Structure 1
Amino acid sequence: MKATVSDIARNCGLSTATVDRVLNNRPGASAANRQRVMEAAKQLGYLPVVDQVTLPSRPAHLEFFLPIGSNAFMMDLARHIEDYAARLPLVASCRIHNLAGISPGALQAAIENLSLRANGVGVIAIDHPRTRNILREIVEAGIRLVTLVSDVPGAPRSAYVGIDNRVAGRTAALLMGRFLSGRPGHLAMVVGSRSYRGHEEREMGFRSVLSEEFPNLTVTSAVEINDEPDISYTATMQALHNEPELLGIYCVGAGRSGVAKALLDARPQKKPVFICHDLTRATRGYLVDDLLDVVIDQNARLIAEQSVIRLLGSIASSAPYLTRKFIEPRLIFKENVPVQ
């Protein structure tokens, strides 16, 4: 027999009104009382649990702010969030906002459309003082927050859902060095946007391992393309022209299609090793066509599911932060491309 609000009230020695306020995330209960209520609810099995994350007692309204644009990974992420949320009874509604760019102004304009009934917000945003202030105001309004894909640690988010981007960059450098087997030479780097903390961390990790383990490899071109394939194409064509024997290309964020098109059009005598992130329909094709050597995939489906679960968990929890847990990236080669 399932526990009731009265059972929880008796267990923790508080009124049913206080228990009801806590379970439904309404103001009027102290932090200490919230902790007592949630602990009693957990002991009595009142709250559902998924992946060891305690969920709220009532359905919640979730909203996500994503700079989708023409980015295939972002499109996949948004689709997986909607699909997973639709299958969870504890999600009353799930709304995706397509940001008009990555600037703080774009986020501010989108936040104006945030529903008054929203309980939790997931966001992909750059690490900027204005962004941090926007996110702080969301939390101060009593809404729980998680960051996705690229963290904003200065914001009062309950959790970050994504890979360890510095480790991802270090992995890319290790793969590049192993692929090239000690050959000395030059590399090109295509950086999405250093405004994203995740892209900055990947670049840092990549350069660190080159310096530590492969000093024979030098990055001679590092162009920030703001995730624009046309700029990526031009930058890659220029790098191939300047370095006819370019050994490798690392694409830190989006812009993969621009690199692939440049490789097809330039037809270098020996194709550089090409490493990028995110398994999409396009990168699947690049892998099987031998344009691309390896994808470091952050798993859009898993990030989507965990972002929904962690938002629900943060709504149920009295603690400001949930336990940190990174998504494990996958290394995808042409021989192990998973079924869609």
Structure 2
Amino acid sequence: MRPTTKDLAKAAGVSLATVDRVLNGRSGVRKKTIEAVNDAIERIGFERNQIAATLARQRAYRFAFILPRLGGEFLDAIIDRIREFERIGRAEMIETEVIRIDERDPHKAARTLGRLSPEDIDGVAIMAPETPQIRDALHRMRERGIQTIPFVANQQEDGFVGINNRSAGATAGRLMGRFLGGKPGTIIALTETTQSRDSLERRLGFDAIINRDYPGLRILPTLETHGDPGRTQHVLRNALDAHDDVVGLYFMGAEAQTPIEVARLLNATAGRVTIVHERTASTEKALHDGMIDAVIHQDPGHLVRSAVRILRSKCEKRTILASQERIRIEILIAENL
């Protein structure tokens, strides 16, 4: 028989009510008493019955996915997976919701985060640029007792849910170099914003491989599109006009629909190796049409399920199973879709 809370209370020399307060992180318990309970947990091998503990809460866990107001097909796929989880999460006493923020106005986004209350939300998974305003808002949320994890856009915090973006960029660099087969020339790198840490990390990984192993290739400074089709067309056309030796295109952002549409209009990928991120309807079609060469992907369903598991573990002060939460980098070509 595994030890019960009664056994734990006896081993720690405290009441059942005190054990309950310590296990649930409630206030009003002296530090010495908390240490005594934690020591007893280790000594008798106490393991909390999480199902019973959740039922004892008498309410479901409530987790919010904080997502950009503007987005495209990959963001839509993530929201679809969140809605999908909503239908099965109730059986596990977990409720999820989506909150959209204005990622282009960090002050406004921070105000939205500041209105979230621990009475309404237990934890959030946030996909947003790493700005001082959002970083401070997340810190204040944790002070209020709301658990937080960065989602897809890494903000250098424990529990990040997403692929290793530097490795993803390095993978793109390796594919680019291999596909070009020693052909020298210039590479255009394009993204929505360099404020996004995922794009920054991908660019660092991409540069590391190209600069080290393919000296005949030169990467231009990253072009920012801000997700605007007109700007995308302007910067891409200017780069192509200014450099007559462009041999490759690398679209680093999570949303490749606009760059692909613009590149199709300009016939920019013809005779050039093109690597993009995330499997969507647009990238699938571009692969089938031979317009792009490879897609580097992370599964949105795995992202959502992993975020929920990590947030619940944080709420219950449990250690996560790291191997279960590692998001794989997938390489897709037309032949393995």
The two structures share one fold, judged by TM-score above 0.5:
yes
Q: Which residue number in structure 2 is paired with residue 151 of structure 1? A: 154
CA contact (8 A) 1:63 1:94 kept: yes
Which aligned pairs between 1:323-334 and structure 2 lie closer than 5 A?
326-334=326-334
Aligned position for 2:82: 81
Q: State which drifts further: 123-132 or 201-210.
A: 123-132
Which residue type is aligned with residue 335 of structure 1?
E
User: What are the within-5 Å matches in structure 2 for residues 1-340 of structure 1?
Assistant: 5-10=5-10, 12-29=12-29, 30=31, 32=35, 35=38, 43-44=46-47, 46-47=49-50, 58=57, 59-88=60-89, 89-115=91-117, 116-153=119-156, 157-220=157-220, 222-254=222-254, 256-267=256-267, 270-317=270-317, 326-337=326-337
CA distance in 2, matches of 1:57, 1:37: 22
Letter in 2 for 1:311: L
Q: 1:42 to 1:25 in 2, by over 3 A?
A: farther
Task: Return the letter of the residue paired with 1:87.
Answer: I
SS of residue in 1 equivalent to 2:219: strand
Asked whether the equivalents of residues 125 and 196 of structure 1 are also in contact (C-alpha less than 8 Å), the reply is yes
TM-score normalised by L of structure 2: 0.85
Alpha carbons of 1:45 and 1:138: their partners in 2 closer, same or farther (altered >3 Å)? closer
Task: Give the whole-Å Cα distance in 2 for the aligned partners of 1:312 and 1:15.
Answer: 27
Q: Output the CA distance in 1 between the equivalents of 2:314 and 2:231.
A: 39
Deviations 1:174-200 (A, max 9, x none): 100000000001110102211111111
How many correspondences in the alignment? 329
Q: Structure 2 counterpart of 1:333, which letter?
A: I
Contact 1:149–1:163 at 8 Å: present in 2 too?
yes
Structure 2 CA distance for aligned equivalents of residues 57 and 332 of structure 1: 45
Larger relative contact order (CA 8 Å, sep ≥ 6): 1
Alpha-carbon distance in 2 for matches of 1:28, 1:306: 33
More displaced, 164-173 or 81-90?
81-90
Q: Which moved more, 1:108-117 or 1:54-63?
A: 54-63
* TM-score between the two structures when normalised by the length of structure 1: 0.85
Letter in 1 for 2:81: H
In 1, are the aligned partners of 2:186 and 2:248 still within 8 Å (CA)?
yes
Q: Structure 1 counterpart of 2:15, which letter?
A: S
* Mapped partners of 1:26, 1:191: distance in 2: 45
- Give distance in 2, aligned partners of 1:61 and 1:140: 18
User: Cα distance 1:93–1:171, how it changes in 2: closer, same or farther (>3 A)?
Assistant: same
> Counterparts of 2:166 and 2:336 in 1: how far apart (Å)?
24
Contact persistence 1:55–1:313 (CA under 8 A): no
Query: How far apart are 1:149 and its partner, in Å?
Result: 1.0
Q: How far 1:211 sits from its partner (Å)?
A: 0.7
Gaps (5+ residues) in structure 2?
Answer: none
Distance 2:131 2:258 in 1: 27
What's the CA shift string for 1:82-138, capped at 9, x where partnerless? Answer: 322441334442221011224421321321442433111111122222222111100
CA contact (8 A) 2:103 2:129 kept: no
- CA 1:258/1:12 → structure 2, altered by over 3 Å: closer, same or farther? same
Q: Secondary structure at the match of 2:121?
A: coil
Quick check: 1:229–1:254 contact (8 Å CA) kept in 2? no
Q: CA RMSD in A?
A: 3.1
Name whichever of 6-15 and 159-168 sits farther off: 6-15
Q: Is the 8 A contact 1:103 1:126 kept in 2?
A: no
Q: Please, which runs of 5 or more residues in structure 1 have no aligned partner?
A: 49-53
SS at match of 2:137: helix
CA distance, structure 1, for counterparts of residue 143 and residue 268 of structure 2 = 55
Counterpart-to-counterpart distance in 2, 1:62 and 1:38: 28
**Residue 106 of structure 1 aligns to which amino acid in structure 2?**
K
Letter in 1 for 2:61: A
Q: Is the CA contact (8 Å cut-off) linking 2:9 and 2:37 kept in structure 1?
A: no
Tell me the distance in 2 between the aligned counterparts of 1:64 and 1:98.
8
- Bigger CA drift: 308-317 or 292-301? 292-301
Structure 1 or 2: larger helix share?
Answer: 2
Residue 121 of structure 1 contacts residue 143 of structure 1 at CA under 8 Å; is this kept in 2? yes
Q: How far apart, CA to CA, are the structure 2 residues paired with 1:56 and 1:73?
A: 35
Could you tell me whether the CA contact under 8 Å between 1:296 and 1:332 is conserved in 2?
yes
